[in-house]
Amino acid sequence: MVCRTVHKVENLLIKSGKLSLPGQKELRKLSDPDTVLVIDVMESPIERPKKGQKGFYSGKQKEHTLKTQVIIDLKTKKIMCLRHGKGRMHDFKLFQKSQVKLPKTIKLLADKGYQGIVKIHELSEIPIRKPRGKNSSEEQRKYNRELGRIRVAVENVNRCLKIFKILSYPYRNRRYKFGLRSHLIAGIYNNDLGSKA
């Protein structure tokens, strides 16, 4: 009974058309050079899978997870697109797999998990790594603090998404439905953002 109700609600939300995300097509159309995008990955715990446990095990979280890559517009805080992967997959590997193509004029801010992103998108900024065997300079620490202060916007969006328990508590449903449900939640977040504006 509950499952049928959930499916019915999901179908109604999809048919409404109000909860769809801008997606990669819209990302490619961005033309304003002042646009800044922020990328991050959030992890949602899942029950230990019967098969292929290794692929879902996140060394960072020390549990089995599903990863969700979130890209937001810094100015509007709107979620532009999501991509999903297994817990073991590295953040940068998930970015490569998602094949996100951005206009060259758009700035992208990321965290340390995206080492190498500059080779794919030149206008990317990530924290400066500490040189091996040395301390970071005051200038480097200042840059990293400033970047972290700006990037906190995407952490706040992740927190808003995790208010929905399906993303923060162990996910017990069919994994193939996780993408649909997280997209609907992101759509609800964007819709709520629009109603507040």
Closest CA to 68 of 91, 36, 93: 91
| 32: enclosing H helix or E strand | none
Tens digit of pLDDT for each residue in 1-10? 667 777 787 7
Identify the DSSP state of 21: -
Say if residues 85 and 97 touch (Cβ distance below 8 Å): yes
Task: For the chain, 197 residues long, give each residue's pLDDT as a single digit of tens.
Answer: 667 777 787 777 777 777 888 988 888 888 888 999 999 999 999 998 888 888 898 888 889 999 999 999 999 999 999 999 999 999 999 999 999 889 999 999 999 999 999 999 999 999 988 878 788 888 889 999 999 999 999 999 999 999 999 999 999 888 889 999 999 999 999 988 877 65
